[in-house]
Amino acid sequence: MEKHRLEAFSDGVIAVLITIMVLELKVPHGLGLAALEPLWPVFLSYVLSFVYIGIYWNNHHHMLQLTHTINGKVLWANLHLLFWLSLVPFTTGWMGENHFGQGPTILYGANLLLCAVAYTVLQACLIRHQGHDSPLARAVSGDVKGKASLLMYLLGLLAAWLVAPWAGLAFFVAVALVWLVPDPRIEKRIAQ
């Protein structure tokens, strides 16, 4: 099966997701710049989630570049990833409106963790479909970065629960910084 429509559909869903998050930034009624003040936490959580969804799009783009054909399992593994991504606007909105309170920050971290798990599952499905000596399999073999991220999310969840929300957020921001650069292992493979 061709991969083209899988890419087009994922692009569409991620484009809508990254854009409707901004609807949570409700137009304030006041006129002065002071009216924007209560929007800071909403804005900051928007920035963080925009970066996260951008990271997922970048890596999805890279991973599919090393993929030539797909199968029915890949379609569902991809929808599974899109499902958890589709909850990001909701968990972002709750965290922002509650000024990074503990409950919402934990839920946000859990959402990020589930997105990462779904991405790992999709990667595994693609590798199983293409064989363990395919370019993708060799590009991500070991996958220290992916496994370390899962651990970081778990530590972040614990920190948000046992220490404070900002401690959890520090972990989530750290993971984002690590992934800001699209996977160089794959970029090398594509260049070959």
**Residue 75 or residue 173: which is nearer to a copy of itself going by CB?**
75
**Contact indicator for 80, 11 with CB cutoff of 8 Å:** no
- Alpha-carbon distance 85 to 69, whole Å? 23
Among 45, 93, 108, 123, binds a copy of itself (CB under 8 A): 93
Among 141, 166, 180, 188, binds a copy of itself (CB under 8 A): 180
**Residue 28 or residue 131: which is nearer to a copy of itself going by CB?**
28
- Alpha-carbon distance 163 to 157, whole Å? 10
Stretch that binds a copy of itself, among 96-104, 123-131, 134-142, 154-162 (CB under 8 A): 96-104
177 binds a copy of itself (CB under 8 A): no
**Residue 131 or residue 151: which is nearer to a copy of itself going by CB?**
131
Chain centre distance of CA 190 = 22
Nearest CA among 174, 184, 187 for reference residue 52: 174
**Residue 107 or residue 167: which is nearer to a copy of itself going by CB?**
107
Q: Measure Cα distances from 75 to 4, 5, 123 in Å.
A: 12, 10, 12
